[in-house]
Amino acid sequence: MDTSDFRNGISILMDGDIYTIVEFQHVKPGKGGAFVRSSIKSFKTGRTIDKTWRAGERMEQAFLERRPMQYLYNDGTEYFLMDPATFEQTSVTKEQIGSGIKYLKDNMDLSVMTHKEAIIGIEVPSFVELEVTETAGSEKGDTASGGGKPATVETGAVVTVPFFIKVGDKVKIDTRNDQYLERVK
């Protein structure tokens, strides 16, 4: 593929790593040749870098496959997943799961990204419902709209919640930004 095929979300191979195009812009200055300015995100490091390409420059496209898997358990070093269609189990490392590891719960459905049959990334659901296991007690005068307090949920993650949340409450959390959304009835 070349720079004229760029679209947001397309993955490319560069320097032995897989990058996803986050944003791109074709630029045709009045003088000189056209070029493409882009922001790309590395799958290995998660860092976003800016890269400029000459118009028509070629690179290899990385074809990623997404498939659903179910989280089973971990033994301290490896995390075991199961393909719900074939019941085949595979293990992954903490690094492959990334920051979403703090929300993993037994039997949770995940989205696994593979490139040439190798697992390169795992996505936890965008929203999870977890029970609060530890938090400071509420006091008279605490309101639903003012401030918050730290709370530990059943997976061990710490999230800031409103003062009215107490131990035993179920809360909905946005895993993309670690934010409390609502109390679940």
Q: Both 118 and 132 in a single domain?
A: no
pLDDT in tens, 107-160: 999 999 888 888 888 888 999 999 999 998 766 555 555 678 999 999 999 999
Of 85, 104, 123, which marks where a domain is finished? 123
d(CA 160, CA 179): 7
Domain of 100 in residue numbering reads as: 65-123
pTM of the model: 0.69
40 and 87 assigned to the same domain? no
Is the pLDDT at 60 greater than 60? The verdict is: yes
CATH of the domain at 16: 2.30.30.30
* pLDDT at residue 142 in the model: 54
Identify the CATH number of the domain in which residue 93 sits: 2.40.50.140
- 135 and 115 within one domain: no
Dihedral over alpha carbons 109, 110, 116, 119 (to 10 degrees)? -120
Question: Residue 118: what pLDDT?
Answer: 83
- Domain end residue (candidates: 19, 39, 61): 61
- Shared domain for 112 and 142, answered yes or no, is no
Sheet containing strand 79-82, strands side by side:
89-92, 79-82, 65-74, 109-115, 118-123
Q: How many structural domains is the chain composed of?
A: 3
